[in-house]
Structure 1
Amino acid sequence: MKIYPIETGNFKLDGGAMFGVVPKTIWQRTNPADSNNLIDMSMRCMLIEDGNRLILIDNGTGNKQSDKFFGYYYFFGGFSLDTSLAKYGFHRDDITDVFLTHLHFDHCGGSIQWNKDRTGYEPAFKNAKFWSNKKHWKWATEPNVREKASFLKENINPIEASGQLKFVNLPEVDFGINTELGFDILFADGHTEKQMIPHIEYKGKTLVFMADLLPTVGHIPLPYVMGYDTRPLLTMDEKAKFLNNAADKNYLLFLEHDASNELCTVKHTEKGVRLDQTYKFNEVFN
């Protein structure tokens, strides 16, 4: 098995929205804001090469939305899915599986693209299965008012129409092994219904793709919860259980949205679980 970090783009979001009730004077110490109160965010995805399978976890926003839409998010950095894949010798047609942690636009927008004459949409990964789960799919296709702006029909409905949609099995508990994809999945409901957090055993370490359970290292303290979360008190409980486990077992946390830090570890302190160390991916996995 080989794993590669895939940078699909950087963007900016409102710092207050990203930290909820935490005052700016506190959160800006770890996530400094610009003059418009915006903080830097990444869309760092993961590519798993395992035998004859090439599994992409999340895929960024894609490029089919309008200039007006993208103008809200101040994209920067010059990264793209295609250039990141090419860096490791791959093309999107090589992808066999696209695993979607959840269906918010910044995680799944790259799944679907315009067709050649821009009259409709088609899968951006023509040879891949797209993986979600039944409870989250229903949640996203029948969205609540709070999340409706993040669940875009043009990102979601064409996946089902393509016939390439697959659902992982939902275990009776929130953590289980998915034998089809070869890694464990933690299901979390605070941010959105049945968000999926992959746990991958790699080179003697447990590598956890954090998605929106832990957006940045600045979100490690329990009250530091996004305003985007639908059930913030549940997020705090889920974070507490996960971070204690991560500190106990020395998990490596792969950060999807932290523009400065690719990986981190956490440790127990008298104030609770806190940041231990940060790493570049290649510092740990040469």
Structure 2
Amino acid sequence: MKIYPIEAGNFKLDGGAMFGVVPKTLWNKTNPADENNLIDIAARCMLIENENRLILIDTGMGNKQSEKFLSYYSLWGNHSLDGSLQKLGFHRDDITDVFMSHLHFDHCGGSVNWNKDRTGYEVAFKNAIFWTNDNHWEWATKPNAREKASFLHENIIPMQESGQLNFVKRPEGDFSFSKELEFNIFYVDGHTEKMMIPHVKYKDKTIVFCADLLPTAGHIPLPYVMGYDTRPLLTLPEKEKFLKTAAENNFYLWLEHDAHNEIITVENTEKGVRLKEVFKCSEILM
């Protein structure tokens, strides 16, 4: 089995929104903002090559949205999903499974493209099964007013219309694409309904794809909760449980949105769980 990082593009988000009630004087130390109060954000997806399966976890925001839409997110850098796949010798048609932590546009937008004549949409991975769960699908397709701008019809419905959409069965935490791949799921509801946090066994390590439970290394302290979370008071115990488990078991935490810290470990301290070590993906996956 092999695991690869897929950098699907960089953008910027408002630092205040990313850290909720935490004052800028505190979060700016770990996630410095520019003159517009924007901080650097990554879309670091994960690709798992296992026997005859090529599994992509999340797909970034894609490129089908309007210039006006994309201008809100101050795209920067040269990363792209296709470019990252190409560097590894893969093509999107090689992908057998697309596993989506949740269906916010910056996590699943790359799953759907314009069709050739731009009259409609088609799935971007024609040979893949798209994985979500039934509770989250219901939540995303009948969005509340707070999340409506994050659940975009054109990112979601084409997956169902293609006939390639599958649901992970719950409440079981265990889910595997094959007997040889240990792939477990931690479900959380603070950010959005039934977001899935995959735990992948890789050699002697457990690598956890943190999605929006822990967007960046700067979000480790418990009160550092995004303003985007729908149930921030639920995020607190979910994150506390997760971080304690991560520290006790020395999990390697794959940060999807941290543009500068790729994988981290955490440890228990007198002040609570805190950052232990920072790694490049290449150091852990070699």
TM-score, normalised via structure 2 length: 0.98
Structure 1 vs Structure 2 CA RMSD: 0.7
How do 1:27-106 and structure 2 match up within 5 A? Answer: 27-106=27-106
**What secondary structure is seen at the aligned counterpart in 2 of 1:276?**
strand
**Equivalent position of 2:239 in the other structure:** 239
Give the AA of the match of 1:179.
S
**Equivalent position of 2:150 in the other structure:** 150
Post-superposition CA distance 1:167-214 (Å, at most 9, x none): 001116xxx110346400000000000000000000210000000000
Question: For 2:176, which of 174, 179, 186 is the aligned residue?
Answer: 179
**What secondary structure is seen at the aligned counterpart in 2 of 1:45?**
strand
How do 1:1-286 and structure 2 match up within 5 A? Answer: 1-171=1-171, 176-180=173-177, 182=181, 183-286=183-286
Q: Distance in 1 between matches of 2:125 and 2:105?
A: 17
Q: Distance in 2 between matches of 1:134 and 1:263?
A: 30
| Unaligned segments of structure 1, at least 5 residues | none
**What secondary structure is seen at the aligned counterpart in 1 of 2:222?**
coil
Report % sequence identity: 70
Bigger mean CA offset, 176-185 vs 96-105: 176-185
**What secondary structure is seen at the aligned counterpart in 2 of 1:117?**
coil
Tell me the matched-pair count: 283
**What secondary structure is seen at the aligned counterpart in 1 of 2:199?**
strand
| Distance apart, 1:275 and its partner CA | 0.4
Give the AA of the match of 1:68.
K
- The 4+ residue runs of structure 1 with deviation greater than 4 A are none
> Does the CA-based 8 Å contact 2:4-2:285 persist in structure 1?
no
Post-superposition CA distance 1:115-136 (Å, at most 9, x none): 0000110000000000000000
| Unaligned segments of structure 2, at least 5 residues | none
Post-superposition CA distance 1:147-166 (Å, at most 9, x none): 00000000001110000000
Give the AA of the match of 1:177.
D
Give the AA of the match of 2:69.
F
Q: Distance in 1 between matches of 2:268 and 2:195?
A: 26
| Distance apart, 1:285 and its partner CA | 2.1
